[in-house]
Amino acid sequence: MRPRSSRFIISAASPRDFPAVDLPEVAIAGRSNVGKSSLINALCAADLARTSRTPGRTRLINWFHVEPTKGRPLALVDLPGYGYAQVDKAMRDSWRPLIESYLDGRTTLRAVVLLFDIRRGAQHEELDFAPWLLERGYTVIPVLTKADKVGKAQRQPLVAQLARELGTAASLRKPILFSAQEGLGLDDLWRAIGKAAEARA
């Protein structure tokens, strides 16, 4: 599916800059380099989110306005990558409160799309993060990114493995196989996002 329209709204470096957006929101979370910006670009069918070569914006939370072909408009929210060993501690300490203050009090947030590199699977951070999100009442949509990097026969077993690792909470969706490069999984992801955005908070 291609959206009717998509545009960048605003970036925020601190909670006082969070916009008062009167739309259901779906956030995209995952480690640096997992493919967040590429996935947002694929969903928006436009080069709105910068990909890894320009890391400046990746320390900010970025809002995008998207009008799907079906259903109401929504905001996609690009969260800074977490668990990135190469950044120094001071930088990590400033990210965490930013992400947590967003996730803790965002009444318009309906779902978090949680990204996993298909070659790495779930690591400690994600295995802690998913239940943390579920406890706060958010739908979690797990996505395996860069599916093109593994052979076709390996893909479904990796989906099954991630599903096993994440468990069976009610607001946990089935993992979606995704490749920005091949355009794989885009319709499945739009369906899951649309459903979550329509649901009442």
The residues of the shown chain that bind ligand GDP, judged by CB under 6 A, are: 30, 32-38, 51-52, 58, 81, 145-146, 148-149, 179-181
Shorter beta-carbon distance to ligand GDP: residue 111 or 177: 177
Shorter beta-carbon distance to ligand GDP: residue 1 or 169: 1
For residue 53, give the nearest of 71, 73, 32 by alpha carbon.
Answer: 32
Shorter beta-carbon distance to Mg ion: residue 58 or 145: 58
Cβ 168 to ligand GDP shortest distance, Å: 27
Sign of CA dihedral 82, 132, 188, 144: positive
Residue 41 one-letter amino acid: N
32 binds, among Mg ion, ligand GDP, none (CB under 5 to 8 A by kind): ligand GDP
Shorter beta-carbon distance to ligand GDP: residue 11 or 33: 33
- Say whether residue 41 binds Mg ion (CB under 5 A): no
Sign of CA dihedral 163, 165, 167, 173: negative
Among 37, 41, 62, 145, binds Mg ion (CB under 5 A): 37
Shorter beta-carbon distance to Mg ion: residue 91 or 199: 91
* Distance separating alpha carbons of residues 59 and 91, to the nearest angstrom: 9
Cβ count within 10 A of residue 184 = 17
179 binds, among ligand GDP, Mg ion, none (CB under 5 to 8 A by kind): ligand GDP
Sign of CA dihedral 112, 181, 44, 64: positive
Among 6, 58, 139, 145, binds Mg ion (CB under 5 A): 58
Helix (H) or strand (E) holding 56: none
For residue 119, give the nearest of 79, 162, 58 by alpha carbon.
Answer: 162
Interface residues with Mg ion (CB under 5 A) are: 36-37, 58
